[in-house]
Amino acid sequence: MKRRALASAVAAAVIVAGPAFAQSAKISDGVVKFGVLTDMSGTYSDLAGPGTVAATQMAIDDFIAKEKPDFKIEMISADHQNKADISANKAREWIDTQKVDALVDLVTTSTALAVMKVANEKNRVTLVSGAGSTPITNEQCNDTTAHWTYDTYSLPVGTAKAVVAQGGKTWYFITADYAFGHSLEKNTSDVVKKSGGKVLGSVRHPFPGSDFSSFLLSAQASGAQVIGLANAGNDTINSIKQAKEFGITPKQTLAGLLMFISDVHSLGLDATQGMYLTTGFYWDYNDETRAWSKRFFDKMKRMPTMVQAGNYSSVYHYLKAVKAAGTDEAKAVMTKMREMPVNDFFAKNGKLRIDGRMVHDMYLAQVKKPSESKYPWDYYHIRQVIPADQAFIPLSESTCPLVKK
């Protein structure tokens, strides 16, 4: 009797699970297709853009060579022009007519939030690398989005802590007046206050700007020891350049809260030497990062930024999960992505959490003096490795509804 009950239970389980299993255990139309949406021509095109497209292609080629999958992999790309409406429309079009399975990169917060919502509605995966605001994995999180490279919580954990520890107790912010800048300013203020520092004020500049002298004068007048630059790309570059011109540095310290190696390259070591910055990746960190970065350099004639390296890592990990799950159904792939640790040149024992945050070690870097730089792109001293569990917002503080408390 007992055995019969067990047998019928098993039979019932097979009947219920069977069709679902049969349905999901395949790749839709035999192709896994990536849609890369990035800034191909605007302010952020050097730190993402064509380099992101190249990195995605490298991930696809490497995966095919190493893992010999029995499905085809394709990629298409477009310029999202840093506009939410354009990104959302493109994502919708790609999913509906091009059968795109995963959307990649998204360099501004507005584009990321718009696309991850569309993709979630249509049950597709979004792999965010370029955008950085914390709402992506907090109040606006969803179960088909992975946020890979960095966020505005992780940046000040390294930079602001280090600068306060060096004696930079009073801060003033020059902030880009949009979601990302606000988020970065807020997260940094929290870290500064927690570390025993004080925030004297802030000024918000229109995005994008070119002349920062007025804002720098306000910062100078505040008398703060540290001027925190809560902006990115060309805005940061021009702020640093003009701070030097007005004799603000080295009297006051500048803290670039989001700086990419492309910015340092463009400004030169003379203007940036001694600055602290937090990064998710540095090409010259170890043999593995060097090997990959040199391959990237051969294609792009530039060393990769953390965004470009992160894109490779997320795409490769996604493909591994598709192979392991035997399907490209978004939720099944996401489950596999969360189960498998991320181990590649970009991250060691990285983990994708339920809120969509991929947690991995971050690095506190200090820009070298011109005399210390021995070869091209030799720009950083890595001063500290920030362990994954400190670098990102703890799940206990997360406001993502998917996190069960």
Judged by the rule CB under 8 A, the positions of this chain that interact with other proteins are 41-47, 49, 177, 203-206, 208-211, 213-215, 217-218, 221, 233-234, 237-238, 241-242, 245-247, 262-263, 265-268, 271, 302
Do the Cβ atoms of 101 and 124 come closer than 8 Å? Answer: yes
Where does residue 284 rank: exposed (0-12), middle (13-18), buried (19+ CB within 10 A)? middle
Q: Helices (H), strands (E): how many in the chain? A: 14, 14
Q: 92 or 265, CB closer to other proteins?
A: 265
3-state secondary structure of 26: coil
Complex with other proteins: residue 167 or 201, whichever CB lies closer: 201
In this structure, are residues 271 and 244 in contact, taking their beta carbons and an 8 Å threshold?
A: yes
Q: Nearest approach, Cβ of 81 to other proteins (angstroms)?
A: 13
Minimal distance in Å, beta carbon 43 to other proteins? Answer: 6
Cα separation of 267 and 284, whole Å? 19
Q: Which residues contact 168 (CB under 8 A, 6 or more apart)?
A: 197, 225, 226, 253, 255
Please report how close the Cβ of residue 233 comes to other proteins at its closest, in angstroms.
Answer: 7
- Tell me if 36 sits within 8 A of 94, measured CB to CB: no
As measured in angstroms, the least distance from the Cβ of 205 to other proteins is 6
Using the minimum distance from each CB to other proteins, give the nearer residue, 45 or 398.
45
Smallest distance, other proteins to C-beta of residue 269, A: 11
The C-alpha atoms of residue 81 and residue 48 are separated, in whole angstroms, by: 12
CB of 370 to other proteins, least distance (A): 13
Smallest distance from other proteins to CB 236, Å: 10
DSSP 195: T
The smaller minimum CB distance to other proteins, of residues 42 and 228, is found at: 42
Q: How far is the CB of 37 from other proteins (least distance, A)?
A: 17
- To the nearest 10 degrees (0 to 180), the angle between helices 49-67 and 287-300 is 120
CB closer to other proteins out of 47 and 388: 47
Phi, psi for 352 (deg, rounded to 5): -90, 120
Tokens read off for 68: 């010999």
Nearer to other proteins, 185 or 329 (CB): 185
Beta-carbon neighbour count of residue 122 at 10 Å?
14
Q: Look up residue 43 and give its two tokens.
A: 């302010």
> Taking the complex as a whole, how short is the minimal distance between the CB of residue 54 and other proteins, in angstroms?
14
Q: Which secondary-structure segment (H or E) carries 154?
A: helix 154-165
Q: Count Cβ neighbours within 10 Å for each residue of 294-315 and write b for 16 or more, e otherwise.
A: eebbeebebbbbbbbbbbbbbb
Least separation, in Å, of the C-beta of 112 and other proteins?
A: 20
Query: Residue 265 or residue 331: which is nearer to other proteins going by CB?
Result: 265
Q: Identify whether 208 is preceded by a cis peptide bond (ω within 30 of 0).
A: yes
Which lies closer to other proteins via its Cβ, residue 137 or residue 311?
311
In the complex with other proteins, the residue whose CB is nearer, 134 or 236, is 236
